[in-house]
Amino acid sequence: MAAGGALRVPARTGGLSRAGRRALGLVALTALGVAVAFTAVALQRGQPGAAGTPYWAALLGGLLLAVLAAARLSLASADAPEDPAGGALVSRLQRVLPVATVPFVLLLTWEGLVLGFRVPPGIFPSVASIGQALVRSWPVLVADAYLTFVREVLLGFAVGLLLGFVAGTLIAFSAFLRRGFLPLATAFGAVPIVGLAPVLGRALGVDWESKAAVGVIVTFFPVVLNTVQGLTSVEPLKLELLRSYAAKPLQGFLALRLPNALPYVFTSLKVAIVLTVVSVIVAEFLIPGPPSGLGQRISLSAHRGQFDVVFAAIFVSSVLSMLLYWTVQLLERWLLAWHPSARGG
């Protein structure tokens, strides 16, 4: 996949420099290594019993070849004054190939070890069985993900963000609250979710509400802390400028403090969204309620020894939380296009 994407770039194969040809050769070697390891795994799958020496040789050799070739390519110098096209190709390949090789190597190592040692599925599943479980339990997982992400994570996140921002704004404008609340906010942030989740479960019931509340709290504290910091860390010079323009406090808030706070808030949001997903799933583990939601699915499947379903659910939740993270990041780029950090790239 990586090699294919990179190959399309320079069409003039004939005019390639030595460096460019060497880079393409290394890509081919990487692909070859991955292919050899993949073939070894694929052949081993049908075999009964533990693997023999040829299997291990092919697997390790293929993986080693892929890693070494990718490493050699990334260490190669992209400076080629006499051949700018070749240099560009090399640097492009350097950016893509290692990142793309790692998942192949990791997954093949995993699959190779599990198949080679014949690890029973009740202890550790193979990648292939996880894929099958993903397809097999897809409707269940989608329903679980809907509950976990839409009902619990997104709702909790939105409410926590709103409450946190309002509370942060109030605290930022009151020196008394700032002195009284901020040390406590740090202390509350130290309450581990393992302790908090059962208490919320007791208070709000075992249904989705208590898990959404976990999301609210996990989001609330980072947002409060960063909102306060963003609203208060305004340059005094700018404040004086506004004062000399006879700006009203609200104008000062909208024109200066709020824009200044946004980058801080987004920083906290990026931390909070990933933390919320993980915490909500932890809460689903610790508040045994109705058997739906990704955390409950993982917990129940793990107790039944269906580790392929466990990993499939983990995969779904990871992909979704990465998507959420990227959404926040995208929103940040879009809203903060004017900010130096975005302009600077």
Partner 1 sequence: MRAVVSWLRGSLPVVVVVAVLLALMYPLALLLGMPLARERMGNVSNWVRGTVEALPVADATAGGERLPFGGAPEVDERLSSLERGTAVLVRDGRVVAAGVDLEDGAAVLSAPLEGPAVTLGARLEPLAAPAGSPGLAGRLHALPAGATAGAPLYLDGALLRRGSVAAVERADGVRREFTVPGAGRRDGDLPAVALVAGEAVLEGEGFELDGDTLLLDAPPAFNAPVSLVTGDYEYLDPAAGTLVVRAAVPAGAELRVAGSHVALVEGLVGPVDGENRTFRLQSTPVLETDPARVVYLGDRPLSGAAERPQERVDGARATFTFPSDRGIVTVDGREAVAGVDYERDGAAVTFRTPPPRNAALRQHPDYRVSDPATGTVTLAEAPRPGEALWAASYTFYAHPACGETAFECFLGMPQHPVPFPNWIAERLVPFLTAYPLSDPRNVVRATLYTAAGTLVSLAVGTVIGVLLAVAFVRVKPFEQALLPWVIASQTIPVIALVPVLVAVLGNLGVTVQTSLVPAAIVGAYIAFFPITVGTVTGLRSVDPLALDLMKAYAATPLQSFVKLRFPAAVPHLFTSLKLGAAAALVGALVAEVESNNRLGLGYAIIGQVQAGDVADVWILLGISALLGISLVALVGLLQRLLAPWQRTGLAADQGGR
Residue 42 or 102: the one with the smaller Cβ distance to partner 1 is 102
Instruction: Confirm or reject binding of residue 70 to partner 1 (CB under 8 A).
Output: yes
3-state secondary structure of 338: coil
Residue 203 or 254: the one with the smaller Cβ distance to partner 1 is 203
Q: 246 in the Ramachandran plot: left (φ > 0), alpha (ψ -120 to 50) or beta?
A: left
Query: Which one of the spans 16-24, 51-59, 129-137, 291-299 is the region binding partner 1 (CB under 8 A)?
Result: 291-299
Could you tell me which of 160, 158, 193, 164 has the C-alpha nearest to residue 284? 193
Instruction: Confirm or reject binding of residue 247 to partner 1 (CB under 8 A).
Output: no
Residue 165 or 307: the one with the smaller Cβ distance to partner 1 is 307
Could you tell me which of 213, 224, 231, 212 has the C-alpha nearest to residue 161? 224
CA angle 185, 187, 191 (to 5 degrees): 110
State which of residues 193, 223, 228, 261 lies at the interface with partner 1 (CB under 8 A). Answer: 193
CB of 83 to partner 1, least distance (A): 21
Instruction: Confirm or reject binding of residue 122 to partner 1 (CB under 8 A).
Output: yes
The upper half-sphere exposure of residue 166, i.e. CA atoms within 13 Å in the direction of its Cβ, equals 5
C-alpha dist (Å) from residue 204 to 133, 164, 212 = 33, 20, 10
Instruction: Confirm or reject binding of residue 188 to partner 1 (CB under 8 A).
Output: yes
CB of 117 to partner 1, least distance (A): 11
Instruction: Confirm or reject binding of residue 198 to partner 1 (CB under 8 A).
Output: yes
Burial class (CB in 10 A: 0-12, 13-18, 19+), 234: middle
Structure tokens at 107: 């997954």
State which of residues 35, 83, 285, 329 lies at the interface with partner 1 (CB under 8 A). Answer: 285
C-alpha dist (Å) from residue 310 to 2, 39, 75, 198, 208 = 29, 27, 38, 22, 20
Radius of gyration of the chain (CA): 26
DSSP 95-123: HHHHHHHHHHHHHHHHHHHHHHTT--TTT
Instruction: Confirm or reject binding of residue 21 to partner 1 (CB under 8 A).
Output: no
The residue count of the chain comes to 345
Give dist(CA 193, CA 180) in Å, integer: 23
Give dist(CA 64, CA 58) in Å, integer: 10
x/- mask, partner 1, residues 316-335, rule CB under 8 A, reads: -xx--xx--x----------
Instruction: Confirm or reject binding of residue 181 to partner 1 (CB under 8 A).
Output: yes
State which of residues 239, 278, 336, 342 lies at the interface with partner 1 (CB under 8 A). Answer: 278
Residue 44 or 276: the one with the smaller Cβ distance to partner 1 is 276
Query: Which one of the spans 36-44, 71-79, 139-147, 238-246 is the region binding partner 1 (CB under 8 A)?
Result: 71-79
Give dist(CA 122, CA 297) in Å, integer: 16
- Span 88-107, contacts to partner 1 by CB under 8 A: 94-95, 98-99, 101-103, 106
Residue 153 or 242: the one with the smaller Cβ distance to partner 1 is 153
Instruction: Confirm or reject binding of residue 110 to partner 1 (CB under 8 A).
Output: no
CB of 318 to partner 1, least distance (A): 5
Instruction: Confirm or reject binding of residue 160 to partner 1 (CB under 8 A).
Output: no
Instruction: Confirm or reject binding of residue 208 to partner 1 (CB under 8 A).
Output: no
Residue 227 or 279: the one with the smaller Cβ distance to partner 1 is 279
- Binding positions for partner 1, rule: CB under 8 A: 70-71, 74-75, 94-95, 98-99, 101-103, 106, 122-124, 176-181, 183-184, 186-196, 198-199, 201-204, 274, 277-278, 281-282, 285-286, 294-295, 298-299, 302-303, 305, 307, 310-311, 313-314, 317-318, 321-322, 325
